[in-house]
Amino acid sequence: LCQCQPYKSMFSWLEVTVGVGAGVAAVAWLYYTYPSLDKPTGPAGTLSIRGRRAFSGRLFFRDRRSSAPSYVIEHINRLGDPDYTCLSIAENKLSYKLLQPTVSKALHEVAAATDSCASQCGGSLGYTDPAGSPGLRAVLADFLAREVAGNRCSGAINPESIVCSAGLAATTHMILMALCDVGDQVLIPAPSYSGFDGTVRDHRVFAVPVQSSKPGAKWDDIDSNISVEALENAQRRDYTHTASESLIHTSVLLLSSPSNPTGQLYSAAALKRAVQWAQSHGIHTVIDEVYAGSVHQEGENHCSALELFESDESGLVHTLYGFAKDFGMAGWRVGVLHSKNTALISAVRTMAHQCEASTLTQSVIERVLRDTHAVSTYLDEHRKTMRTACIAVSDALRRARIPFITPSAGVFVFIDLRGYLTSPTFEDETKLYHELLDRAKVNLTPGGAMNCGEPGYFRICFAYNALDETVRAVERVISVLESR
């Protein structure tokens, strides 16, 4: 057919069009994936492109819409400054002392057990199942059903549906490796945890923010961020600026519930609608519930995917949990995946061999979780501690008439500083961020790093420091704002 007139000329133009489209797509992909292809001189020139991105601090936590250096890098660079206060890292340092007696007891038990059988079997010094020790997964199944799902599951959770690894970042990496191909896109309801973007992009996958479908929404209605309309708008968005949107395959819907950074709770109805929409498109839903035990607003309850989708057998719903936030064990690095998708569990289990949580850590956490009374008592006290800190920060903001979203969960408050911007741009947000960092010596999380659709929002993390230090830092921020 191509040799006949007039088809010959038509197919020639078709070939040119396809070629040009492919070229544009390739250039867009290279620009998006590799921010700078210039090979530097010196030691950095010996690294790969990915290595140079890490060297320059651009591998993770990048805000592509502004020139602001990463708030995480700023934090690391200022750790030696005695006047500096970090309010940008969502780490819980307020609650661990409440758990310390239980952890100390578990540590002594593990040490004694290791001493008694080290010569025979290695104790906690040897290898274990890459998915996590059978004992740990058994108590995790009970813990997830009891504390995360609130004892609302009708049946027991199968330990074989659980994989443990060295932290939730590693767990998320493995899930994306198993579910996404290069060039896919992942939908992330915004504003979102800044680490999601870096993790997604590290797999050469597009991170697509899902903005609220509610006109003029100021994130006071978190359910609008996962409405069917919002999800469909994000899925259709020509995020890569390629010639054809149909080339982009959506593989995952990735969200945190409770929400990071707003601390709001999704309703059960909204979560069900979002998951049903994803399933109708063959899209996996990955729900990070790392703040499930940090619901501190009285009268509020977390709706866990473990409960909501207990009877779902699609294999498209996966739940994450970790011990960094609720238990203040950020440095212990234990992340948990629950999924009924046996193929995914098998794939992640294979990959987990490279990033297993240490057997010592697994042994200690197993013993901690076995003391169910101590864990339940601790979580009750932890929630009270978070509520006290949240109220103290909220009162300071309220006195200064700074708008904020009252959080129901988490370790942060999401504040509105749009009124302090000279112009409604992310460049001006960056200037304000640096002014607060330089004058108040306080590091906040800028909204641009969290995919906020509008500049001027910031996150205050209230559990990183002692409460009085946090309040003083907030007051320094307020003083700088009022002096402008």
Spatial contact of 145 and 157, defined as CB atoms under 8 Å apart: yes
- Counted residue by residue, the chain has a size of 484
Spatial contact of 303 and 271, defined as CB atoms under 8 Å apart: yes
* Beta-strand relationship, 85-86 and 442-443: parallel
So what's the pLDDT on residue 213?
74
Choose among 127, 116, 170, 100: nearest CA to 337.
170
So what's the pLDDT on residue 22?
56
Spatial contact of 136 and 110, defined as CB atoms under 8 Å apart: no
CA atoms within 13 A on the CB side of 453: 18
* Beta-strand relationship, 335-339 and 404-405: unpaired
So what's the pLDDT on residue 42?
75
| Interior angle at CA 206, CA 282 and CA 255, nearest 5 | 60
Strand partners, 442: 85
So what's the pLDDT on residue 61?
41
For residue 165, report the phi and psi dihedrals to the nearest 5 degrees.
Answer: -150, -175
* Beta-strand relationship, 284-288 and 445-446: unpaired
* Beta-strand relationship, 445-446 and 457-461: antiparallel
So what's the pLDDT on residue 366?
92
Spatial contact of 89 and 473, defined as CB atoms under 8 Å apart: no
So what's the pLDDT on residue 35?
47
Those residues with Cβ within 8 angstroms of residue 353's Cβ, 6 or more apart along the chain or in another chain: 130
Strand partners, 404: 415
Spatial contact of 159 and 137, defined as CB atoms under 8 Å apart: yes
Distance CA 224, CA 264 (A): 12
The DSSP-derived string for 244-292 is -GGGPPEEEEEEESS-TTT-----HHHHHHHHHHHHHTT-EEEEE-TTT
Two structure tokens written together for 152 = 């609302």
Spatial contact of 209 and 232, defined as CB atoms under 8 Å apart: no
State the virtual CA torsion across 289, 291, 293, 298 in degrees, nearest 10.
Answer: -120
Distance CA 97, CA 24 (A): 56
User: Tens-of-pLDDT digits for all 484 residues of the chain?
Assistant: 444 554 444 445 555 555 555 555 555 554 444 444 455 667 877 887 767 766 665 544 444 443 334 898 899 899 989 999 999 999 999 998 898 888 888 888 887 776 555 444 445 667 788 889 999 999 999 999 999 988 788 788 999 999 999 999 999 999 999 999 999 999 999 999 988 988 898 888 999 999 987 765 556 789 999 999 999 999 886 554 444 445 589 999 999 999 999 999 999 999 999 999 999 999 999 999 999 999 999 999 999 999 999 989 999 999 999 999 999 898 889 999 999 999 999 999 999 988 888 888 998 899 999 999 999 999 999 999 999 999 999 999 999 999 999 999 999 999 999 999 999 999 999 999 999 999 999 999 999 999 998 999 999 999 999 999 999 999 999 999 999 8
Distance CA 169, CA 171 (A): 5
Instruction: Give pTM, 2 decimals.
Output: 0.85
So what's the pLDDT on residue 67?
34
- What three-state secondary structure class fits 411? coil
